[in-house]
Structures are given as structure tokens and as C-alpha cells.
Amino acid sequence: MQNSSNFCRSQEAIQIKRAAETTLDNVRAIATKAAEVWRLEAVAAEQREDRHRQRLAVQSDDRLARETSDQGLVGGE
């Protein structure tokens, strides 16, 4: 299962907050790196989601075109 962009962005925010609130250098470094990784995953998820939306739009347009052409044939004109 792939993570949604919303989930990735929320995880990024959690890690940014963790890095900002800690007094420990190692925790800050790990949380900062984790936030960056979540940011990159969010970008990838947004690209996947965009491709999916585009595919659905094309499929919908194709169905509509087929239905319209089929209706023209039914009338015998």
C-alpha cells in the first residue's frame, strides 16, 4: 500500500515539530532527516495521485465519446 500525500505531509509536520522541540542534537538530526524523507515521499505521492486523476479523466472522456457515438448508431442515422 502506498501512502497518500496528506499522510506524508502530516508525518513531515510531526517530524519538523519534533526537531524543533527537542534539546537533543541526535534527535533533532534524525527528525530533520525524517522530515526531509517524508517531504520527498509526499512529492512522489502527489505525482502518483495526479497521474491517477489524469487516467480517470481520460477514461471518463473515452466512455463519454463511446456512449455518444453508440447513441448515434442506435438512431440509424
Write down the pLDDT at residue 61.
73
Provide the sign of the torsion angle of the four alpha carbons 68, 71, 73, 77, taken in this order: negative
Structure-block grid coordinates of residue 37: 524523507
pLDDT in tens, 16-65: 999 999 999 999 999 999 999 999 999 999 999 999 999 988 887 777 77
Write down the pLDDT at residue 20.
98
HSE-CB of 74 using CA atoms within 13 angstroms: 6
pLDDT in tens, 25-37: 999 999 999 999 9
User: What span, in angstroms and rounded, lies between the C-alpha atoms of 69 and 65?
Assistant: 6
Mean pLDDT over residues 4-11, rounded? 98
Write down the pLDDT at residue 66.
74
